Amino acid sequence: MPKFECMEFTAKVIADFLNGDIEGNPDEAVTNVSKIEEGTKGTLAFLANPKYEKYLYDTEASIVLINRDLRLQKEVNTTLIRVDNAYQAFAALLDMYEKSRPQKSGHADNAAIDPTAVIGENAYIDSYVVVGKNAAIGNNVKLYPQVYIGDNAVIGDNVILYPGVKIYDECKVGNNCVLHAGTVVGSDGFGFANQEDGSYQKIPQMGNVIIEDDVEIGSNVSIDCATMGSTIIRRGVKIDNLVQIAHNVEIGEHTVIVAQAGIAGSSKIGKNCMIGGQVGIVGHIQIADGVKIAAQAGVSSSIKKEGEILLGSPATNIGLQRRAMAVYKNLPDLRQKILDLEKEIEQLKSK
C-alpha cells in the first residue's frame, strides 16, 4: 500500500472531506492505508464487502471507513467513520491524496520533439520520448520514458501515458485519459486477402483510433486502427490489461472490459456493458447496451436484448446456461440409468 509520505490525516479531517460521521476519537491520526485484515496502528482501512466484517472487530487499523447502514455485532477497538459508500469514499480519499502529491514537470534533454509539434502548458516529457510532426499535446500531460507520439496525433489535456505507450500517426486521445505501460494504439488491423496460390496479401489499414475523454486503459493493450474510418473507444470506457481490440470496433460509453478479452473486427459494443476476462467476441456483430458477459464466454452472434447476462461458450442466457450445467454434471448418473433401463427392456423382450 502507498504511504502518505509523512502526511498525517486525523479522523476529523477525513470525515469532513467525506461528509462522514465519526464514532470514536476524532483526533485519531493515520499516515498510511491498509487492508482491514492486515491493519496496523496508524493506518486507514475500509469495509465494503460483508464477508470481511469479521476482521472489523479485531483489526489494529486506527481508522476504518464503514457504510452508514452497517449494524455492529459487537464493540470495536478502532475509530469508525460512517459514510454512504465505504468503497467509493476510500477511492475518493486516495484520489485526493494522489492529487496533493508534487507533480512532475519539465522536458528531458534527450526527448525528441519535432519542431512542428504543439506542446501545451505544464507538460512533463521524460527521457527518450518521441513526438512526431504536427502532433498536438494538451495541457498538464505526462509522457513517461519511451512514449511514442506519431505524426498528426492529438493528445488531450490531463492525459498520462506511462512508459512505452505508443500512439500511432493520426490517432486521437481525449482529455483525462490514462494509458498504462506497453499499450499500443493504432497498430495495423489484422487484414489479409487470401490469394489463389494460398498466400495472403496485406490489406493496407488506412484509418485511425479515436479515444474519447475519461478513458483508462491497462498495460499491454492493443487497439488496432481501422481499415477505413476509425476504431472508437467512447467516453468513460475502462479496459484492463492484455486486451485486444481489432480494427473498426466501437466500444460504447462506460463499458468495462477485463483482462485477456478479445474483440474481433467491426463489432459494436453498447454502453455500460461488462465484459469478463478471456471473453471472445467474433467480428461484425452488435452487443446491446448494459449486457454482461461472464469470464471465458464465447460470443458468436449479436446480442439484441439490453441488460442480458450471458455465460458459457457459445454464450447463452445465464439462466438457461445454469440449468444446462446442472444437467451436465448429472450426465454420468443419467447415462447409467439409461443403460439400466435398456437392460430391463431387453430382459422384458426376451420373456
Q: Is the pTM here over 0.75, yes or no?
A: yes
Q: How confident is the model at residue 153 (pLDDT cuts 50, 70, 90)?
A: very high
The C-alpha cell of 184 is what?
499500443
Q: What is the pLDDT of residue 263?
A: 98
Of 68, 100, 132, the last residue of a domain is 100
Mean pLDDT of the chain: 93
Residue 131 resides in a domain: yes
In this structure, are 302 and 337 located in the same domain? no
In this structure, are 318 and 329 located in the same domain? no
Residue 21 resides in a domain: yes
Of 100, 124, 140, the last residue of a domain is 100
For residue range 219-258, what is the model confidence (pLDDT) as tens digits?
A: 999 999 999 999 999 999 999 999 999 999 999 999 999 9
Bridging pattern class, strands 43-46 and 160-161: unpaired
Any idea what DSSP says for residue 188? P
In this structure, are 181 and 302 located in the same domain? yes
Residue 91 resides in a domain: yes
For residue range 14-47, what is the model confidence (pLDDT) as tens digits?
A: 999 999 999 999 999 999 999 999 999 999 999 9
Residue 80 resides in a domain: yes
Q: What is the pLDDT of residue 351?
A: 77
Of 85, 100, 115, the last residue of a domain is 100
* Cα distance between residue 267 and residue 245, in whole Å: 10
Q: Reply yes or no on whether the pLDDT at 4 is more than 70.
A: no
Active-site residues, by number, are: 247
For residue range 60-71, what is the model confidence (pLDDT) as tens digits?
A: 999 999 999 999
In this structure, are 273 and 289 located in the same domain? yes
If one counts every other C-beta atom within 10 angstroms of the C-beta of residue 26, the result is 15
Residue 144 resides in a domain: yes
What value does the mean pLDDT take over residues 192-204?
A: 94
In this structure, are 138 and 93 located in the same domain? no
Q: How confident is the model at residue 327 (pLDDT cuts 50, 70, 90)?
A: confident
In this structure, are 220 and 275 located in the same domain? yes
The C-alpha cell of 288 is what?
446491446
Residue 2 resides in a domain: no
Q: Reply yes or no on whether the pLDDT at 325 is more than 80.
A: no
Q: What is the pLDDT of residue 13?
A: 94
In this structure, are 121 and 213 located in the same domain? yes
232-254 in b/e form (b: 16+ CB < 10 A) is bbbbbbbbbbbbbbbbbbbbbbb
The C-alpha cell of 298 is what?
464465447
In this structure, are 14 and 117 located in the same domain? no
- Measured between alpha carbons, how far is residue 162 from residues 62, 103, 129, 214, 237 in Å? 34, 15, 11, 16, 18
Q: What is the CATH number of the domain that holds 62?
A: 3.40.1390.10
Residue 310 resides in a domain: yes
Q: What is the CATH number of the domain that holds 115?
A: 2.160.10.10
Residue 20 resides in a domain: yes
Query: Quick check: 76 and 58 in contact, CB under 8 A?
Result: no
Q: What is the pLDDT of residue 33?
A: 92
* Cα distance between residue 302 and residue 283, in whole Å: 10
Domain count, the chain: 3
Q: What is the pLDDT of residue 259?
A: 96
Query: Quick check: 61 and 36 in contact, CB under 8 A?
Result: yes
In this structure, are 229 and 345 located in the same domain? no
Q: What is the pLDDT of residue 282?
A: 97
Query: Quick check: 159 and 178 in contact, CB under 8 A?
Result: yes
Query: Quick check: 124 and 143 in contact, CB under 8 A?
Result: yes
Bridging pattern class, strands 208-211 and 230-233: parallel
Q: Reply yes or no on whether the pLDDT at 135 is more than 60.
A: yes
Quote the domain boundaries for residue 346.
Answer: 325-351
In this structure, are 228 and 304 located in the same domain? yes
In this structure, are 252 and 346 located in the same domain? no
Q: Reply yes or no on whether the pLDDT at 101 is more than 90.
A: no
In this structure, are 144 and 272 located in the same domain? yes
What value does the mean pLDDT take over residues 91-103?
A: 82
What's the N-to-C CA distance of the chain in angstroms?
A: 78
More confident residue, 268 or 95: 268
Q: What is the pLDDT of residue 6?
A: 52
Q: How confident is the model at residue 301 (pLDDT cuts 50, 70, 90)?
A: very high
